[in-house]
Structure 1
Amino acid sequence: MTRPSRLILLAAALTGILLGGCAQQQEDRPQAAAAVPDDDAYCQSRGFKPGSDGYVACRRDRDHVVTLQAQQGKRDLRKIQDYMMDNK
């Protein structure tokens, strides 16, 4: 593969990754809003009544898990981007 072909391929790959990252950021907000009823149903199915200490702790724990998953996803994306930049 010639050098110009490699550069074109790399530019196309990076453009796709960057556009995918932008699309992902736009999708984060609706997913978080859609998760609220699921968290409510989950905590109530565990026997916690809304407003009780157990319910508040359940919702806090669920929010913490979602936050950790989002952070891990961002770290994974960053690793992929770094790998692609280092292995031209």
Structure 2
Amino acid sequence: MLTKRHIFSAILAAALSFSATTAHAYQWSGPVVLEAQRSISPAEAKSIARKRVPGGEVVDISRRGDTYRVRVIAKSGKVVDVLIDANTGRVKK
């Protein structure tokens, strides 16, 4: 005959088993989801633009969709807009 203690133990074991299985599933998919959501920060975009226009001064940075637009004033005084892919960090042409 099943007692309340047996029933409670069975429910607890099932819950723990489900919890461990669910946690394992989240651990497996976690890095995949994080990698898909990864994008560069505005500071990283600024650094990339500085490398593209050496000696220039960054005066503005904005993001629209998946593109950063970093406005840089070159040593010559020319205003240069550097477009950077927010997901990869590559300079767009």
Per the shorter chain, which TM-score range?
A: 0.3 to 0.5
Which one has a bigger Cα radius of gyration? 2
| Larger relative strand fraction | 2
Greater RCO, CA 8 A, separation 6+: 1
- When normalised by structure 1's length, the TM-score is 0.44
